């Protein structure tokens, strides 16, 4: 396993980050712990979760994922494990902290305290804002709509809340998720104004079919010295190959949850994936190797977040996530991208 230092943190994380959002819904606690043991034994030292998990979010399962992880962490020395979690943003999930989901300093402090208790640790290495407080198009292709503007705490107050948690020794660093280039820069300007630490990472969807980080966001990341934690690197499982030809395997996520991952089921996404699958066959690669190898090749990616519901998937993803594509394959990918620039948003 190779490791990369997240800029500005001193944290050395594995190129593969273990995602956890299926734990408590599609995976039992015993299965979650089996995944953890396997991943760590194969060099993974970076684990990402969220107070909202598992997905799909429901009142009766909320925070179950952090508890599963915490029970495992509480049974072993912390060692060099890097633990990341997230505070849920505003929305219609009134069961999260009694509906107190505006990103205020008080709510940040409450959420951090609850996550620390569930995770059974003394400090969170990386604490992230799961989605924006303000009005932005998120979770797939969409247009900015000024009519959806809403009141809420300022970016400056959100930065103050994160800085207070660092000062209190409850988190080490903080980051953003599902953010825009404007948002990345605005958070940094606020942190500079206040003289406090700014965000160090951006956890956004990134894959062969979701490439927003390749455009204006890439400049913001470069200039603000940040790296991407790439989630959904297999396009919600579409790039695993199991849905090719319209297949809907029994027990798969899209079969179990009809409304989940709609951004990855669009006709243009399906067409693009067919082209990538043909390229993988031509190169003698699996589609997973092609997809995860591509994400690994990008200069701004600090770690690739992979998840799985079975141990077979986990083993394949960890191996493929370390695969290095040659120049000819990357050139062939670029030709397909010219036809399908960013179909999944």
The percent of residues above 70 in pLDDT, for the chain, comes to 94
Neighbours of 285 (CB within 10 A): 17
Question: Each residue of 121-142: pLDDT tens digit?
Answer: 999 999 999 999 999 987 776 7
When pLDDT is cut at 50, 70 and 90, the band that residue 330 belongs to is very high
- Within a domain: 171: yes
Residue 267 included in any domain: no
pLDDT for the residue 141: 66
Task: Point out the catalytic residue in the list 53, 127, 276, 294.
Answer: 53
Half-sphere exposure of 72 (CA within 13 A, CB side): 22
Q: What is the mean pLDDT of the chain?
A: 93
Range of the structural domain that residue 182 is part of: 3-237+295-326
3 has catalytic annotation: no
Beta carbons of 88 and 51 less than 8 angstroms apart: yes
Residue 168: inside a domain? yes
Q: How does pLDDT run across 233-262, given as a tens digit for each residue?
A: 999 888 988 777 766 667 666 755 666 667
Residue 322 in any domain: the answer is yes
CATH number of the domain where residue 52 is located: 3.20.20.100
What's the confidence (pLDDT) of residue 68?
98
Mind listing the pLDDT tens digit for each residue in 7-44?
999 999 999 999 999 999 999 999 999 999 999 999 99
Strands 124-129 and 82-87: parallel
3-state secondary structure of 305: strand
Q: Residue 103: inside a domain, yes or no?
A: yes
DSSP string, 215-252: THHHHHHHHTT-EEEEE-TTGGGGGGTTTGGG---TTS
Q: Give a yes or no: residue 286 inside a domain.
A: no
Evaluate whether residue 273 is within a structural domain: no
Contacts of 217 (CB under 8 A, 6+ apart): 180, 181, 184, 202, 204
| pLDDT above 90 for 172 | yes
Which residue shows structure tokens 């031509």? 282
Partners of residue 84 on adjacent β-strands: 48, 126
In a domain, 337, yes or no: no
Average of per-residue pLDDT across 80-102: 93
Name the domain count of the chain.
1
């Amino acid at each position: 396993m190779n490791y990369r230092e997240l800029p500005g943190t001193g944290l050395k994380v594995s190129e593969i980050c273990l995602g956890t959002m299926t734990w408590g819904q599609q995976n039992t606690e015993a299965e979650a712990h089996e995944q953890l043991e396997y991943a760590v034994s194969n060099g993974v030292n970076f684990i990402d979760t969220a107070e909202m998990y598992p997905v799909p979010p429901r009142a009766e399962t909320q925070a179950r994922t952090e508890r599963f992880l915490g029970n495992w962490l509480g049974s072993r020395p912390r060692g060099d494990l890097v633990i990341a979690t997230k505070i849920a943003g505003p929305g219609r999930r009134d069961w999260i902290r009694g509906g107190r989901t505006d990103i205020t300093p008080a709510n940040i402090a409450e959420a951090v305290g609850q996550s620390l208790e569930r995770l059974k640790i003394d400090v969170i290495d990386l604490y992230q804002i799961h989605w924006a407080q303000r009005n932005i198009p998120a979770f797939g292709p969409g247009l900015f709509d000024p009519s959806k503007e809403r009141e809420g705490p300022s970016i400056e107050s959100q930065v103050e809340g994160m800085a207070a948690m660092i000062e209190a020794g409850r988190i080490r660093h903080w980051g953003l998720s599902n953010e825009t280039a404007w948002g990345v820069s605005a958070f940094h300007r606020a942190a500079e104004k206040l003289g406090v630490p700014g965000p160090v990472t951006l956890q956004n969807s990134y894959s062969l079919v979701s490439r927003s980080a390749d455009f204006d966001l890439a400049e913001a990341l470069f200039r603000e010295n940040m790296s991407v934690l790439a989630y959904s690197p297999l396009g919600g499982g579409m790039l695993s190959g199991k849905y090719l030809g319209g297949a809907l395997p029994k027990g798969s996520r899209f079969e179990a949850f009809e409304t989940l991952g709609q951004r990855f089921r669009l006709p243009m996404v399906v067409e693009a994936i067919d082209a990538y699958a043909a390229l993988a066959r031509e190169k003698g690669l699996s589609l997973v190797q092609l997809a995860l190898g591509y994400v690994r090749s990008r200069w701004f990616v600090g770690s690739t977040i992979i998840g799985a519901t079975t141990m077979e998937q986990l083993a394949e993803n960890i191996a493929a996530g370390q695969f290095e594509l040659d120049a000819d394959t990357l050139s062939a990918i670029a030709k397909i991208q010219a036809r399908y620039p960013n179909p999944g948003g």
